[in-house]
Every structure is written in structure tokens, then in C-alpha cells.
Amino acid sequence: MITSKFEFKSPKDVKEAVHLYGEFQGEAVYLSGGTDLVPRIKLGLVKPKTVIDLKRVASLTRVEDQGDWIKIGSLARIFDLKRNDLIRDYFPVFEASLEATSCESLQMRGTIGGNLLQNSRCLFYNQSELWRGTKGFCLKMGGEACNAVPGAKRCFANYCSDNAPALCTLSAEIELSGPDEDRRLNLEGIYTNEAAKPFNLRPGEILTAIFIPKKQSTGGYEKLRVRDAIDYPLMSVAFSLVDGTGKLAVGAVGPKPYVVEIKTPLRGAIGEAVEAVLKQVRLVGNTVLEPEYRKRMIPVLAERLFNKIMEGAK
């Protein structure tokens, strides 16, 4: 049951949605599929005064071939995208990450924009208000210290989008519409590297589209999870090879995907790329698996993925 009280708005275009947000500055949220947002509202992690539903904005669901780019509307559903011929033909890493996202009934509700802008997660954060209250509020809830690492003054929540690491390996860009201007930036540029507030979004901005360079790629995605049919990643590895240059991205081990470019995509280089990621991350006990195990699985999944891709390329 949702205990917080809010108004519900259903604008027909992006301009109207942004305008509505302005009327409820700071206390409105945008709703797409709701598979991340509604549970967050239920747990009291967000208490909006207004929910602005974007599903009636028809322009946000389209997939367009623009020649040099494939443009994907942010409200395109995960299930529809994984069956899209352009995505299947050009971006195997993305097809694999879409397939690995949750389960099919949630893929049919969840959108790509919502998947990218899902909030970071922690075993000590995604809990009911009562549960969290007994423990004392953590940094991500506005408290003084982390509950996963007692005494720590920074947040260790994990960003668990399956599709973000995949899209980073394809050098995807995103478009944002806001009250002052529209802007386009690299997907990697959206992350703050601060788990308590993971996105560089200005108030009122809507993620309207994702752009992927239309270049043939090879690649894949591997994901660690306990319940294979539905779970968020407990760690994941994405790899793509575009124009002879590889990119490896590791997800769900911190507040953003960790991306490393590989000029000469050979087995040894994959190991070096994994080492480069390991130097940047600090895994802690904030998921259902031990941090040491998740850490040790990064090179294992990276190698498994690389072998699978090389096998497919033969």
C-alpha cells in the first residue's frame, strides 16, 4: 500500500511535462514504466507531491534509423527493443543486456529510459521505512553515515542497470529536455560517481532519447545473479568491438559503469582492462553475495564473455 499522497498528471508532450514539473519544483517525479519508481514510492524512498506520467507522450516510444545513428525513444519498452531488428543486427551487446534485464513481464512494462535512470541500490537502503528507521538513516537517506560500511562517510550503493554498461561499450549518447534547454551528452557523462545521488540531472530534465552510433559491432553481456529469472545484476560485464577497438564495461560494482577502452582486443588486454577496473572499485557487503566473491567473478565473467565472443566470430 502506498501511504504517501500525491497528484497524478498525464501530459501529452514533453514541453507540457517539463512545465508541470516547474509548477511542483523539487516535489515532482517523472513516471515511465514504474518498475523502479513505484516500489521506491511504496518503500517511502521517494515521497513525491506529484507523479507526472510520461506514457501518453507518443513521440518518446519511437526507434528511428537516422543513418549515422539509431535513435531510441526513452519510453521504448525493454521487451520491444530486444526484438528490434536494428538492435539485433548491429548491437549484440545491447540485445544481450536487454534479454538479461529482469523477467519478460517486467520487460514488457519497463522502459529503456527508466532502466538507465533507475536509482542505485543497497541491501541497507531498498527496505521499508520501518526497517530503515530501526537501523538509523544512512547517507543516501539524508543521514550521517553509511550502514553497509559502519562509519563510512560515503555511499556504496550499486547502480544496477543491465543496459547502461552495454550502451557505454557502444559509445551511446543521450538527449535531455529541460526547462532551459535541450542538451545531448555521452551516456557516461550522466554519472556523478556519487552513489547517494548518482545522476548529473538538472531539475526538471527528462531523458528523451538514446543515440547509438550505427556501426556494426560484435559483443556480448554476462551477468552474475542468484535468481536467474529476474534478479538485478550483482555484477555484470559488457564488451563490444567497434571498428577494431574494444570497450569493456563492468556494472553493478559502484555508482556507475566502469568503462575501459581496449586498443588491441586480445586476451591479455582483457585481463589488463579488468585490472584497471579493479583498481577503481571497492566492493562492500551490501548485496546478497559476499563482496570478495563478486570481485573474483569480474575476471571470470570477462574471460567467459571474451571466449564466447571469439567463438562466435570464428
Nearer to another protein, 6 or 199 (CB): 6
Mark 217-246 with x for binding to another protein (rule: CB under 8 A) and - for no binding: ----------xxxx----------------
Work out whether 55 is an interface residue with another protein (CB under 8 A): yes
Chain residues 106-135 in contact with another protein, contact rule CB under 8 A: 106, 108-109
35 is an interface residue for another protein by CB under 8 A:
yes
Which range binds another protein by CB under 8 A, 61-69, 102-110, 259-267, 305-313? 102-110
The C-alpha cell that represents 113 in the structure block: 529510459
Q: Closest CB to another protein among 4 and 193?
A: 4
Residue 196 sits in the site that holds another protein (CB under 8 A): no
Task: Considering only the stretches 63-71, 103-111, 174-182, 207-215, report the one whose residues sit in contact with another protein under the rule CB under 8 A.
Answer: 103-111
Question: How crowded is residue 203: how many other Cβ atoms within 10 Å of its Cβ?
Answer: 12
Minimum Å gap between C-beta 310 and another protein is 25
In angstroms, what is the minimal distance from the CB of 275 to another protein?
34
Q: How far apart are the C-alpha atoms of 249 and 292, rounded to whole Å?
A: 19
| 8 Å CB contact between 116 and 110 | no
Q: Which is nearer to another protein, 13 or 194 (CB)?
A: 13
Residue choice 25, 105, 193, 280 for contact with another protein (CB under 8 A)? 105
Q: Which residue has the cell 565473467?
A: 301
Nearer to another protein, 29 or 276 (CB): 29
List contacts with another protein (CB under 8 A): 1-8, 10, 31, 34-35, 38-39, 41-43, 51, 53, 55, 102-106, 108-109, 227-230
